[in-house]
Amino acid sequence: MKFVLSWLDDLAPGIAPVGADPHPLAERMTALGMQVEEILHVGLTVDGVITARVLRTERHPDAAKVHRVWVDAGDGVERHVWCGAFNMAPGDVIPLATPGTTMPDGRSIEPRPILGIDSQGMLCSARELGLGDDHSGILILPPETPLGVPYADALGLESEVVFDVDLTRNRPDCWGHLGAARDVAAHLGVELAPATPPLEAAGDARSASVEIVAGDRCHRFTTVVLSGVRVTSSPDWMARRLAAAGMRSINNVVDVSNYVMLELNQPNHAYDLDTLGGHGFRIRLASDGEQMTTLDGVVRTCTAEDLLICDAHDVPIGIAGIMGGLDSEITDGTSVVAIEIASFEQTGITRSMNRLGLRSEASGRFERGVDPYGIDRAHARIVELLRLTCPDLVVHAGAVDARSDALAPADRSTEVRVSQVNRILGTSLDTSMISSLIAPIGYVTRSVAVGPSGDVLTVSLPSWRTDSHEEIDVVEEVARHHGYDNIGLAVPNSTMHGRLSPIQVRRRQLREVLLGAGLSEAITASFLHEDDLAAAHLPADAIRITNPLQADEDVLRPTMRVGMLQAIAFNESHRRSGVQLFEIGHVYPPGDRSTELPPEYEGLSVALAGGDARAAMQLWREIAKAMGLGARVDQSRVPAGMHPTRSATLSLGKDVVGAVGEIHPDVCDAFGVTERVAWLELDLSRLLAVEPKIAQWKATSRFPSTDLDLAFVVPDTVAAEKIDKGIRQAAGTLLVDLSLFDVFRGTGIEPGSRSLAYRLRLQAVDRTLTDVEVAAVKDKTVATVSKMGAVLRG
């Protein structure tokens, strides 16, 4: 909302005097919740810019982008100026910024030499003078413009200071200048200017009839008939204010309508009574599919939830509160008008706006809430302003004021406990302080009673504050006018202790392990393309977004794999191979749809470009060791989309908690990844929830240890993990360390088998082992693993 300061000062004299520094007012308004985003100087004149006539122009052989212009500023002295624009011809009158001028953008005009030749000023474009957006060339003034005078005088410019304010939803009243003026005036202890006196009818009875059919949607609908209207142009001051507020001047009738809307936040419409069918209005819901053309020329198809303003013959002439129909405008020949001002239910307007995708100055105001009892003042103000251009204006008797049962009462009020104000704000305000803070903005204390916890005020709720309903709303008004800055600072006496949860601690540990292993962290897209799942060999069942930003990116990721492969492909395409990435984030599998929300969980994904399955296993073991985790590596269950002979499922009990191995080469191809990709994914919601066992002390032996090296030929079909387990079981408690130190396939080993060489370190806590004991371990181990198909090598 744009507030014109002179307009605010009209409504509350003294709050924004002409010529005063606007910054203190801007700070005050911001502190009251009307955040001034920008201070605009509309039509600001720049001192030092005078009119001058172009005498001649000349190119300089060494200057390609500028030329030389000689001008006369009315004193007969020839002045030379360098200029980068070429749109002027000798004889043109142009604005000349003389040396010493400070331009609106802060530039100072100096006699700046080019090629050693001074420039005695600068010729200005419209934009440089703050006169609009035109920067295509120098502003050419009318040929009869006198020379040597300030350009602003020549153009008849007067400046307005305008605040562009970001209004919040709880301030519907501020969509008119009056609302902001009232708030500032209350804060400064200034009186508002008196309102226009109520309307007095002078003419005979002429009415525009009103029938409210949809009373729950249209709460009040009023009409006043005026004759003697002459459609002409508006006074300059009104056109200028409208322009400053961002609206174009059309004619006196439309301008007054807009002016009153901007002043009093009362959208209104002037209908030509002679062309209004049946000289009256019907306000009803549309029928499904009913069409009408709005004044922007678009055919709108309505539903049974849209509210229409129809003429008395039931022909739609406007979508209520949003936009009038194509033929509802007055014409140059209009002389009798019906002024309509109404009050509509807010949420119905919002829904229609959203459904129709149609917004207007009026609908934005009705959506936020318009004072149903400000209508009468608006009628009076319209007449007062129209009289300025229509001296023969007649206000006819027979004004119609139709009200529905849903109209909010004019005397709404709520109880406000003084104790509650102080309990929420941390203040120690008493009854009279509270009353005097909020009475000037319409929250008048009607009575005070004594309740169990002190005074209880009955406070009236102003009809223009449609957002105010209950005690807490009034507490906020007290806070605003007491001043947020005056509330003070206190720190709660917390009995709580700040800390991370065990899961949060472990997540941080996990990140450290991954970073230490050389991996960097990615955050990949949450939304996938329709085709991505198939390309990744993943099930098509996924949660979809019903209103995606990009029509084909509507899949909620059930895995991070797609995003990680895209990241690798992206980096490959920028000559960065071997990228090692991890991501910790939520994934959203659809589950069986038996729960209120999908079985979303936090997962870890790791992609090692150029790495193989062993690298993935190595990382898993690194993580498992650091974090005290464990899971079964089951190579008989190949996770979807992964390399069929180099991947395994990680499981805890019956539950799958991860996958390890390599991405299927077909999947890599599909995502344009040329490197092999080692892959690890873990369900952190399961794995981090497991509290690791706290290690308990075991005595380290003081006696010497013995190493026993055993190599076995083992068929490829038998997992090394199985042999490992067999050895551990057979060697029993004497085995303190076991390592697989060599895997060999080739000469001497029959195809389909490999040699696995293990080193067993044996040690007892209480003695030195004898050769006999060592031999016994060896025999038992060989016997155990031979049952698994392992043959001891010579």
Partner 1 sequence: MSDIDRDLPLLDDVAAARDAGLARILTAASVDEVVGIDADLLGKKGSLALLKTRLGSLATVDEKKAAGQALNAATQAVTDAIAARRGELARAERAVQLERERIDLTEELTQPRRGHPHLVTQAWQRLEDVFIGLGFQVAEGPEVETDFYNFEALNMPRSHPARSGFDTLFTDYSGPLAEDGTVLLRTHTSPVQIRVMQTIEPPIYMVMPGRVFRRDTPDATHMPVFHQIEGLVIDRGITMAHLAGTIDAFTKAFFGGAFTSRLRPNYFPFTEPSAEFDIQRPDGSWIELGGCGMVHPNVLRAGGLDPEEWSGFAFGFGIDRMARERHGIDDIRDMYSNDIRFIEQF
Pair 446, 458: CB distance under 8 Å: yes
Residue 120 identity: Q
Residue number with CB closer to partner 1 (89 or 505): 505
- For partner 1, the binding residue among 581, 623, 682, 785 (CB under 8 A) is 581
Establish if 517 lies at the interface with partner 1 (CB under 8 A): yes
Pair 571, 522: CB distance under 8 Å: no
> Residue 239: phi, psi to the nearest 5?
-60, -40
Establish if 168 lies at the interface with partner 1 (CB under 8 A): yes
Establish if 588 lies at the interface with partner 1 (CB under 8 A): yes
Residue number with CB closer to partner 1 (171 or 300): 171
- For partner 1, the binding residue among 115, 188, 202, 523 (CB under 8 A) is 523
- For partner 1, the binding residue among 45, 266, 524, 605 (CB under 8 A) is 524
Q: Is the dihedral of CA 118, 121, 123, 128 positive or negative?
A: positive
Please name which of 192, 182, 251, 144 lies closest in space to residue 32, comparing C-alpha atoms. 182
Establish if 520 lies at the interface with partner 1 (CB under 8 A): yes
Establish if 571 lies at the interface with partner 1 (CB under 8 A): yes
Residue number with CB closer to partner 1 (464 or 758): 464
Q: How many residues bind partner 1, per CB under 8 A?
A: 90
d(CA 734, CA 703): 12
Query: Which residues inside 754-773 make contact with partner 1, applying CB under 8 A?
Result: none
d(CA 95, CA 155): 11
- Which span sits near partner 1 by CB under 8 A: 266-274, 276-284, 516-524, 661-669? 516-524
> In the bound complex, what is the minimum distance in angstroms from residue 485's beta carbon to partner 1?
7
d(CA 171, CA 1): 12
Establish if 600 lies at the interface with partner 1 (CB under 8 A): yes
d(CA 401, CA 657): 70
Residue number with CB closer to partner 1 (571 or 647): 571
d(CA 701, CA 764): 7
Please name which of 652, 640, 625, 790 lies closest in space to residue 721, comparing C-alpha atoms. 790
> In the bound complex, what is the minimum distance in angstroms from residue 629's beta carbon to partner 1?
20
Residue 111 zone, left/alpha/beta (φ > 0; ψ -120 to 50; rest): beta
> In the bound complex, what is the minimum distance in angstroms from residue 187's beta carbon to partner 1?
12
d(CA 406, CA 219): 6
Residue number with CB closer to partner 1 (386 or 556): 556
Distance from chain centroid for Cα 112 = 46
Query: Which residues inside 440-499 make contact with partner 1, applying CB under 8 A?
Result: 472-473, 475-476, 479-480, 484-485, 487-492, 494-499
Establish if 731 lies at the interface with partner 1 (CB under 8 A): no
Strand partners, 50: 96, 150
Residue number with CB closer to partner 1 (484 or 703): 484
> In the bound complex, what is the minimum distance in angstroms from residue 346's beta carbon to partner 1?
7
- For partner 1, the binding residue among 60, 508, 637, 745 (CB under 8 A) is 508
Please name which of 539, 709, 492, 496 lies closest in space to residue 639, comparing C-alpha atoms. 539
Strand partners, 396: 203
> In the bound complex, what is the minimum distance in angstroms from residue 480's beta carbon to partner 1?
5
Query: Which residues inside 4-33 make contact with partner 1, applying CB under 8 A?
Result: 30-33
- Which span sits near partner 1 by CB under 8 A: 197-205, 584-592, 641-649, 780-788? 584-592
∠ Cα 471 476 480 (to 5°): 150
Residue number with CB closer to partner 1 (511 or 529): 511
The angle that helices 418-425 and 471-482 make with each other, rounded to 10 degrees, is 60
In the 3-class helix/strand/coil scheme, how is 352-394 assigned residue by residue? HHHHHCCCCHHHHHHHHCCCCCCHHHHHHHHHHHHCCCCCCCE
Using CB under 8 A as the criterion, what x/- string covers residues 389-428 for binding partner 1? ----------------------------------xxxxx-
Residue number with CB closer to partner 1 (537 or 586): 586
Strand partners, 218: 344
Establish if 590 lies at the interface with partner 1 (CB under 8 A): yes
Establish if 265 lies at the interface with partner 1 (CB under 8 A): no
Establish if 610 lies at the interface with partner 1 (CB under 8 A): no
> In the bound complex, what is the minimum distance in angstroms from residue 476's beta carbon to partner 1?
4
- Which span sits near partner 1 by CB under 8 A: 208-216, 278-286, 568-576, 754-762? 568-576
- Which tokens is 368 given? 């936020």
CB count, 10 Å around CB of 88? 21
Distance from chain centroid for Cα 97 = 42
- Which span sits near partner 1 by CB under 8 A: 163-171, 217-225, 444-452, 714-722? 163-171
- For partner 1, the binding residue among 501, 636, 717, 747 (CB under 8 A) is 501
Distance from chain centroid for Cα 164 = 19
> In the bound complex, what is the minimum distance in angstroms from residue 270's beta carbon to partner 1?
28
Residue number with CB closer to partner 1 (237 or 570): 570
> In the bound complex, what is the minimum distance in angstroms from residue 302's beta carbon to partner 1?
19
Establish if 525 lies at the interface with partner 1 (CB under 8 A): yes
Establish if 596 lies at the interface with partner 1 (CB under 8 A): yes
Residue number with CB closer to partner 1 (257 or 571): 571
Helices (H), 139-266: 151-155, 177-188, 236-244, 252-264
Query: Which residues inside 539-558 make contact with partner 1, applying CB under 8 A?
Result: 543-549, 556
Residue number with CB closer to partner 1 (153 or 521): 521
Residue number with CB closer to partner 1 (228 or 599): 599
Residue number with CB closer to partner 1 (72 or 361): 361
Pair 266, 374: CB distance under 8 Å: yes
d(CA 453, CA 332): 65
Strands 791-792 and 280-285: unpaired
Query: Which residues inside 335-354 make contact with partner 1, applying CB under 8 A?
Result: 346-347, 350-351, 354
Residue 179 identity: G
- Which span sits near partner 1 by CB under 8 A: 16-24, 233-241, 269-277, 588-596? 588-596
- For partner 1, the binding residue among 64, 410, 551, 597 (CB under 8 A) is 597
> In the bound complex, what is the minimum distance in angstroms from residue 20's beta carbon to partner 1?
22
d(CA 135, CA 648): 67
- Which tokens is 333 given? 């020949």
Residue number with CB closer to partner 1 (594 or 700): 594
Q: Which residues of 546-585 are buried (b: 16+ CB within 10 A; e: fewer)?
A: eeeeeeeebbbbbbbbbbbbbbbbebbeeeeeebbbbbbb
* Beta strands per DSSP E along 635-752: 648-652, 655-662, 677-683, 706-715, 735-744
- For partner 1, the binding residue among 598, 610, 628, 789 (CB under 8 A) is 598
Using CB under 8 A as the criterion, what x/- string covers residues 682-711 for binding partner 1? ------------------------------
> In the bound complex, what is the minimum distance in angstroms from residue 568's beta carbon to partner 1?
9
Residue number with CB closer to partner 1 (169 or 787): 169
Which DSSP string do the residues of 65-82 spell out, in sequence order?
Answer: S-EEEEEE-SSS-EEEEE
Pair 184, 15: CB distance under 8 Å: yes
Please name which of 349, 388, 390 lies closest in space to residue 370, comparing C-alpha atoms. 349
Residue number with CB closer to partner 1 (595 or 747): 595
Establish if 89 lies at the interface with partner 1 (CB under 8 A): no
Pair 613, 647: CB distance under 8 Å: yes
Residue number with CB closer to partner 1 (42 or 568): 568
Establish if 595 lies at the interface with partner 1 (CB under 8 A): yes
Establish if 357 lies at the interface with partner 1 (CB under 8 A): no
